[in-house]
Amino acid sequence: MPAEDVMALRKEHKGIVHRLAIVEKCIDAPGFNERKFRESMATLGVQLREHFTHEERAVYGPLNSRLKRSSPTRELIEDHSSIWKAFDKLSEAKLAQGAGVAPSTELKDRLSSLQLTLRRHLEKEEKVVFWLADLRL
């Protein structure tokens, strides 16, 4: 796999982490702005969908062909569905009403859960998958 392709995927990871930080900022802002929150979540959703499609095609597919049964992609695909579940739960969380009202515990908890699920997955990919892809594809 050409180095620039691996770099493009890493760049997408950075973009996703950055977008999630914007969602967190929206939630922690003193005056909760529902429109901004919804817009950031929608953008994050698009970024995730494009990135997952990209890497499943460019990395997971070739890894499966090369490594057959020892390919780690089954677990990574499961991670993608866990990330979507956490994303949907955050999208459906009850929102705090009005300016100056603290964000609901539910909202904060669901954000933490998405952050954790996503962080673990990205770390796994950066350490193992992209390294493997660099070596073998």
Which residue's CB is nearer to Fe ion, number 27 or number 132? 132
Distances (CA, A) of 124 to 13, 33, 91, 121, 130: 12, 33, 25, 5, 9
Does 107 engage in binding with Fe ion (CB under 5 A)?
A: no
Count of positions on this chain that bind Fe ion (CB under 5 A): 2
Q: Which stretch binds Fe ion (CB under 5 A): 48-56, 62-70, 86-94, 98-106?
A: 48-56
Distances (CA, A) of 93 to 5, 27, 85, 96, 129: 36, 11, 12, 10, 33
Which residue's CB is nearer to Fe ion, number 48 or number 90? 48
Which residue's CB is nearer to Fe ion, number 27 or number 55? 55
Structure tokens, 35: 């429109």
Q: How far apart are CA 19 and CA 16, in angstroms?
A: 5
Structure tokens, 31: 């005056």
Q: Using CB under 5 A, pick the residue from 60, 87, 125, 132 that binds Fe ion.
A: 125
Which residue's CB is nearer to Fe ion, number 55 or number 71? 55
Give min distance, CB of 117 to Fe ion, in A: 11
Angle formed by the axes of helices 3-28 and 34-55, nearest 10°: 160
Site string for Fe ion, 50-69 (x = CB under 5 A): -----x--------------
Interaction site with Fe ion (CB under 5 A) = 55, 125
